[in-house]
Chain A
């Protein structure tokens, strides 16, 4: 029976695929498709409205009309069009309208790539809805982010960073200014899938919380799926951050350099072959250790940076190839800054991590099929070390090579997406007893999977069921079946959305969450009998109100199983045994936003509860229960965020206030010693070990976190160059926000104090 079920599970995506292919063939009629780009730089334009209108006007009920919106590659497709004469119209805010007369033949396929010319006029007060992103624009857990959204958030640098924006979202809990960990709707950082042009990045966030490997200048668009994501994404439990790097400018060259007390940057962008190939490259290196630490008169032992580049090539009218590469590095010490003079201690606590990634993406539109094919190959690695540079006491390495193919077939109002993937992951760790019942290991794991995900559109209703089947080859190969569903219903100003899905994670990241100041992560294959699994359910409502107001609310619930967490022990040590656990994360996000051309305001609130149930064997002995419920240290119950931005000519002003209620920590009642009284103990010889006395794990809460940041940016245009100046103040009222509290010494390490900052950026055109 089990074997039969496995076969059915494997066959289902292919059966769905064949059924849809047959449907498409039966209705094959004319198709018009192509890419839409900006005429001045060759960059793809997303969310362009494409409308095909029948030329004849004598049809009863009016002429036939077909519509589509371009995707992130600027691609559109209109299918199942009867033969006849039509007018195709492309409209996009800020660009001149483009109209073209086309003649469709039965079964014909017309490729039409279009360049839109910017109008050069200032936008009106209202932003076109189709292109809108922002705090309140969330649909079934998915939120799209554009550089403009990021730039509204005050940061110490002239250019923004995706990490700064993510930390403003309700449901996203960060460790603050330090730490580089993001928890999305209750999930652990290692349960987030971060993709850069389809390449997985294992640790994209730098040790200073303002920065990631994604400077806003290089982000074309990012999609954050806080849960309930579709069948295209596999291998992580909690969320997906899908970042698209901007293609380089194919028309003209541009270079910029920036400096601030935190980071310096250099960027070039331009054509390699006019109109055909472009290159964009960014290099950033932190100076926080040298400059910002002087500003705050406090040691800030962080060194980080990244080099990110992308080559984009138009192979033919129907094929595009891009190669993206990233190298990101971090070195720093999070635990205790008071022992600056103790070099040995500093080295012992130092964490270092490096991520490398390179990948290619081929976008192909076959000649005769109403199909968009996307083929990706990637290589990614991540090395993490803890301890001295010459002889780290713990190391973890993960390396992954893989490929995947995604096909989208356009069938009138409906679409069929299907794909498959294969990847091999090597994990190698040396842990020196960090996890006492898990030795460091070296292991190769190969994962394969296939999915099918049709998308049905019925008026305002979009239904997107999906099914993913995957397995890992390591001993027994057990297929994991993951059904997914996304539903959106839009009517007028209102939109209802929902999502649900089952998710597994074969390659897991272990972090000792007892140690808030640790970002050291061990990647390893999950136990075959206990592959972590999550089930998500999301329900949301969004309404567009007059005058650019938008409100949204979304409730979510995640069930988590097969987790591995550190066991508790009264021995005050940073090594632990792993114990099984399961958990739930649930919450409600509320968002209100006012978006006008010159000013912007957003208010968000997140209510959340994360609860784990530990299953440690000794729990019954210690607490009289076999399962201990507790709130892990990322259980931030309340989050409030307010963002305001005003544009006054060349001057941009922005402010951000954020509040987060206290997160759990383990309160100690005292410290004594422990001697194992297992016989005739000689107390004059038996030293015993020190012990921490606590009642229950995470029984206390740290004080609330809140901070106000302000920024003002002014851009002056010269002939051939723009100079942007930015002044910012972070933590304006100098709030003492706790980053880390050492229960052993009762010492606290705070987040960053008030920091004034002045940044400059020069762009050569």
Chain B
């Protein structure tokens, strides 16, 4: 019985004297990093966020960080420079930049080191360069005969254009069809509207299947006819047209996407901030948090002839 009492009372007394809150071990990792090595840009940029003990906004004060990138293919090192950017809300952040163009197919290491030696490190692989080829629209010709002789010829155009992206590109992110359209023949500038096509491996049912993997790389189908519907919806929302039956004028169009490495994939199949915000859920930074990838934009312009554009429901704007 005395032992039982002691068993009950000792933890009570010992625990009962303590009045301070143990807030936890504190941050054991120094930095959170966001950005990507861009083979399409002459300046590289990465956001560096020091992991703080309390919830305080970032300040303009220099942060205790030294940022160095290494081209793992050549061994070339570059020291990055801090710059303070002011966002639209007025908040500030530290973006480190370096004036070089990332090389296709090369691997990079980014090391962000605090003065006490604690470092966050990330390695990423730039995909190789891709080539893009636009396939001509499919045309089905129907010949009607009369008395055994050809009497009438009908050509049906399928206003879907496929683009073949050739190269060992692991993933394509944020594929969009970007249209510049106008609501009157006089409007030469038009308005740019984008239709999301998703990403490779997308599990979103509305976009899955638009980006397909092939033996040579990727194939993207630009659905001109179907895209007219969301374009008109957006023009209606913007108040630029009053009815769906109103014509829209085609100025030009292109696909935009980011060719990225293997690691740039959401574990849920979609990029949902509520799911991915949990630290470590979508991160490739060692001894830190965040995500630093490698990639480059691919933006092939639509070259399809006018009859294909018209077959989709657009009107070709006069020259």
- With the chains together, A704 CA to B9 CA distance in Å? 13
**Residues on the B chain within 8 Å of A671, using CB:** 51-56
B55 with A748: CB separation less than 8 A: no
B12 with A659: CB separation less than 8 A: yes
Residues of A within 8 A of B (CB): 569-572, 577, 618, 621-622, 638, 640, 659, 661-662, 665, 667-681, 683-694, 700, 702-704, 706, 735-738, 741, 743-746, 748
B54 with A676: CB separation less than 8 A: no
- With the chains together, A668 CA to B28 CA distance in Å? 12
Q: For the complex formed, measure the closest distance between the CB of A574 and the CB atoms of chain B, giving whole angstroms.
A: 13
* Chain A residue with Cβ nearest B275: A618
Tell me if B148 counts as interface (CB < 8 A to partner A): no
**Residues on the B chain within 8 Å of A680, using CB:** 36, 38, 173-174, 258, 295, 297
Q: For the complex formed, measure the closest distance between the CB of B314 and the CB atoms of chain A, giving whole angstroms.
A: 27
**Residues on the A chain within 8 Å of B32, using CB:** 672-673, 691
Q: For the complex formed, measure the closest distance between the CB of A656 and the CB atoms of chain B, giving whole angstroms.
A: 16
Counting contact residues on chain B (CB < 8 A from A), the size range is: 35 or more
Contact of B173 among A621, A665, A679 (CB under 8 A): A679
- With the chains together, A460 CA to B260 CA distance in Å? 80
**Residues on the B chain within 8 Å of A572, using CB:** 55
Counting residue pairs across A and B whose Cβ atoms lie within 8 Å, the total is: 164
B53 with A670: CB separation less than 8 A: yes
A-B contact pairs, 24 of them (CB 8 A): A621-B267, A621-B275, A621-B281, A671-B53, A671-B54, A672-B49, A672-B50, A672-B290, A673-B34, A675-B47, A675-B290, A677-B264, A680-B258, A683-B34, A683-B35, A684-B45, A688-B93, A690-B57, A691-B277, A692-B55, A693-B27, A700-B23, A700-B24, A702-B21
Q: Is the interface of A mostly helix, strand, loop or mixed?
A: loop
Contact with A along B41-82 (1 / 0, CB 8 A): 000011101111111111000000000000000000000000
A638 with B12: CB separation less than 8 A: yes
A674 with B174: CB separation less than 8 A: no
- With the chains together, A674 CA to B277 CA distance in Å? 7
A743 with B258: CB separation less than 8 A: no
Contact with A along B6-21 (1 / 0, CB 8 A): 0000001001101111
**Residues on the B chain within 8 Å of A676, using CB:** 271, 273, 276
Task: List 7 tightest A-B contacts by C-beta distance, closest first.
Answer: A679-B174, A670-B27, A678-B271, A667-B24, A687-B87, A672-B32, A744-B55
B45 with A622: CB separation less than 8 A: no
Give the residues from 268 to 301 in chain B that come closer than 8 angstroms, CB to CB, to chain A.
268, 271, 273-279, 281-282, 289-291, 293, 295, 297
Give the residues from 225 to 273 in chain B that come closer than 8 angstroms, CB to CB, to chain A.
258, 264, 266-268, 271, 273
Tell me if B182 counts as interface (CB < 8 A to partner A): no
Contact of B23 among A638, A640, A743 (CB under 8 A): A743
Most buried by A among B15, B46, B174, B279: B279
- With the chains together, A677 CA to B264 CA distance in Å? 9
Q: For the complex formed, measure the closest distance between the CB of B12 and the CB atoms of chain A, giving whole angstroms.
A: 7
Beyond A570-B279, A678-B173, whether A669 also contacts B271 by CB under 8 A is no
- With the chains together, A415 CA to B15 CA distance in Å? 50
**Residues on the B chain within 8 Å of A681, using CB:** 34-36
**Residues on the A chain within 8 Å of B50, using CB:** 672
Tell me if B140 counts as interface (CB < 8 A to partner A): no
Q: For the complex formed, measure the closest distance between the CB of A25 and the CB atoms of chain B, giving whole angstroms.
A: 57
Tell me if B89 counts as interface (CB < 8 A to partner A): yes
B36 with A672: CB separation less than 8 A: no
A683 with B53: CB separation less than 8 A: no
* Chain A residue with Cβ nearest B53: A670
Contact of A685 among B53, B54, B87, B258 (CB under 8 A): B87
- With the chains together, A71 CA to B271 CA distance in Å? 65
Tell me if B118 counts as interface (CB < 8 A to partner A): no
**Residues on the A chain within 8 Å of B15, using CB:** 661-662, 703-704
A669 with B18: CB separation less than 8 A: no
Tell me if B88 counts as interface (CB < 8 A to partner A): yes
B93 with A677: CB separation less than 8 A: no
Tell me if B91 counts as interface (CB < 8 A to partner A): yes
* Chain A residue with Cβ nearest B38: A680
- With the chains together, A405 CA to B24 CA distance in Å? 55
**Residues on the B chain within 8 Å of A738, using CB:** 19, 21
Beyond A672-B49, A691-B277, A744-B54, whether A704 also contacts B16 by CB under 8 A is yes
Tell me if B147 counts as interface (CB < 8 A to partner A): no
* Chain A residue with Cβ nearest B94: A683
With A673-B58, A674-B273, A703-B18 given, name 9 new contacts (CB 8 A).
A569-B274, A618-B275, A618-B278, A661-B15, A669-B25, A671-B52, A672-B49, A683-B35, A737-B19
